[in-house]
Amino acid sequence: MKRQYFGTDGIRDRVGHGVMTPEFVLKLGWAAGRVLCKQGHNLVLIGKDTRISGYMLESLLEAGLSAAGVNSRLLGPMPTPAIAYLTRTLRASAGIVISASHNPYYDNGVKFFSSEGTKLADEVEHAIEQEMKLPLVTVDSAQLGKVERIDDAAGRYLEFCKSTIADHTSLKGLKIVVDCAHGATYHIAPNVFRELGADVITIGSNPNGLNINDNCGATAPQQVSQAVLEHQADVGIAIDGDGDRLIMVDHTGAVLDGDQLLFIIATARQAKHQLSGGVIGTKMTNLGLERAFEQHAIEFKRAAVGDRYVLEMMQQLQWSLGGESSGHIICLDQTTTGDAIVAALQVLESILESAQTLHQAKQGFCKYPQVLINVPMTQPIDIENSATIQQAVIEAESELAEQGRILLRASGTEPLVRVMVEGQHSQQVTLIAEQLASLVADVCQVNH
């Protein structure tokens, strides 16, 4: 079922351009309200990250929902996983997140959660798109939706996060640097770790609407790495702008990505006989993690890239742990979506129970050299059906001799082709990646 507007993570664009215009977002709120009303729903939660455009988009969605006769509750700046949690616990019909996740401030987006706190099914997104084709008609004045603000949303979510680890677990004695990327967790994440007993140093917690993800957070962990060394901290925690990606740093300043964090959580759960099934990764997951899980007799499967596909496979197999190299970690036994704070607590609980440092806990997993190059795409190209590109991939794979992997894919959130190559030898991997990226760029130029 092909969708016109929805990508792998909602609808996203540069504000004022493409689909992220006032006219479109107003109509989107109305169309979503119409679809949800048809299903008997009448209450939607709206939360946002800290981008300056969030004020405008919040008002537009609120107006569109009201025109469709749907009541809404405003949460203010809240992490994406918090909106999923509150949608479920407040028995709302759906949740709307205004965020472009790890993108710069000038982008923004809209994504939806179902009443169960999961991403909307494809057919519901398709139904919303179909409704967008109709003229906007406002319900009778007596049926217009009402709007209220929920003032204790942050406190509710903070207490939930704390409840995801054992009652006896204390972070006392740990010095932690927390980088909130000037994003949606700025007023929550530091308090979670502080209330659990940690000595917390906070950076990236002064949003001004324009500095979200600006050389900080999970996509730029150099700042938290430097702060860990400066403060002689035990651990660094870097979260992205909307709070669903986690990257961590050990006491040496070394960065741990989502694959390494998955390894720590999975092996700790296995040691306690609490690993339900195996672990789901993606086509981007490092080959070294797959090899490490083989040594620990932990079953591992790959989903398509995107946390929604990881979640779908987890639900199909009834497994409780999955995630992406980028730092989306999903603990289905705790919550319904990727959650950076919850995942960080799982890692911290694991190392405390094993009396290890984060540096020691990662040692059982040796990452294969991996190079990822993003190639700007001026217009969509069909990678799968490009004979030139596919022939180059075949030749490169034979050069790796089954000791590595190659993945070329169009990004679902940005106009990019991602070229990923991994193998046992760093120089070889880098050379192949650069050659393929150059070829993809040439093909894009020719097609343009």
**pLDDT of the residue at 385:** 82
Q: Which of 245, 275, 273 is nearest to 261 (CA)?
A: 245
163 an active-site residue?
no
Q: Which of 217, 268, 225, 267 is nearest to 244 (CA)?
A: 217
The beta strand positions in 348-394, using DSSP E, are: 370-376
DSSP letter assigned to residue 261: H
Question: 167: which residues sit within 8 A by CB, 6+ positions away?
Answer: none
**pLDDT of the residue at 448:** 52
d(CA 29, CA 110): 10
The domains spanning 11-151 and 156-361 adopt the same CATH topology = yes
d(CA 79, CA 160): 13
DSSP letter assigned to residue 35: H
CATH topology of domain 11-151: Alpha-D-Glucose-1,6-Bisphosphate; Chain A, domain 3 (3.40.120)
DSSP string of 293-350, one letter each residue: HHHTT--EEEEPSSHHHHHHHHHHHT--EEE-TTSBEEETTT-SS--HHHHHHHHHHH
User: Across the chain, which distance is largest between two alpha carbons, in Å?
Assistant: 69
CATH topology of domain 156-361: Alpha-D-Glucose-1,6-Bisphosphate; Chain A, domain 3 (3.40.120)
d(CA 110, CA 117): 15
Question: 394: which residues sit within 8 A by CB, 6+ positions away?
Answer: none
Edge-first strand order for the sheet with 370-376 is 370-376, 416-423, 404-410
Question: 355: which residues sit within 8 A by CB, 6+ positions away?
Answer: none
What are the residues facing 175 on neighbouring strands? Answer: 199
Which helix (H) or strand (E) segment holds residue 55: the answer is helix 54-67
**pLDDT of the residue at 39:** 62
Could you tell me if 259 and 285 are in contact, meaning their C-beta atoms sit under 8 angstroms apart? Answer: yes
**pLDDT of the residue at 40:** 59
Would you say domain 370-447 falls under CATH 3.20.20.70? no
Residue 329 Cα distances to 232, 411, 431, angstroms: 27, 19, 31
What are the residues facing 331 on neighbouring strands? Answer: 321
Could you tell me if 19 and 109 are in contact, meaning their C-beta atoms sit under 8 angstroms apart? Answer: no
d(CA 197, CA 174): 8
Q: Which residues of the chain have pLDDT under 70?
A: 1, 39-41, 446-448
d(CA 75, CA 40): 22
d(CA 204, CA 192): 16
Q: Which listed residue (53, 66, 72, 101) is catalytic?
A: 101
What pLDDT, in 10s, does the model give residues 314-355?
999 999 999 999 999 999 999 999 999 999 999 999 999 999
The pTM is what? 0.90
**pLDDT of the residue at 414:** 76
In a 10 Å sphere around its CB, with 0-12 CB exposed, 13-18 middle and 19+ buried, how is residue 387 labelled? Answer: exposed
Which helix (H) or strand (E) segment holds residue 178: the answer is strand 175-179
Tokens of 296: 């620990």
Query: What are the boundaries of each domain within the chain?
Result: 11-151, 156-361, 370-447
Distance of CA 91 to the CA centre of its chain: 23
